[in-house]
Amino acid sequence: MAKKLLERLRHKIDVYAKSESKTEFAEITYDYKKITSVWAEVKPISGKENSIKGDSAQVSVTHRIITRSEAIKKPRNDMYFVFKGQKYEIEYFSCYYKCVIEFYCKLIIEGDKDYGQK
């Protein structure tokens, strides 16, 4: 069963994690850096739309991203994924079958900013 699941991992996504660095004044700052690219399955699982002031709408879309557990050694909630120029923030994750990690992520759309696209 796990073999069939791993065959569905056909999307190449980038993984970003928070890393510590020092400024020229010896202050500690945290920046996100790409740590790796992994094969995954990316599927939307829910979405909702809320009306807000000014004839605008707020849209929230949740995705499930599945990767091999060996692909991301130490997953954390402060990581995020980039797939096709879109950012997916991790809300929570769980491991199952001892070989797969299932991430539930929120799609983040921030105007014209693109993530990792040239």
Q: What structural domains and CATH numbers belong to the chain?
A: 2-108 (2.40.10.370)
The pTM is what?
A: 0.79
C-alpha distances in Å from residue 84, one per residue of 30, 45, 56, 106: 25, 18, 25, 15
C-beta of residue 57 within 8 angstroms of C-beta of residue 75? no
Instruction: Give the span between the Cα atoms of 47 and 27, in whole angstroms.
Output: 40
Q: What is the pLDDT along the chain (118 residues), one digit of tens a residue?
A: 556 777 888 999 999 999 888 888 888 888 999 999 999 999 999 887 777 777 777 777 899 999 998 899 889 999 999 999 999 999 999 987 778 899 999 988 766 555 555 4
Instruction: Give the span between the Cα atoms of 9 and 73, in whole angstroms.
Output: 17
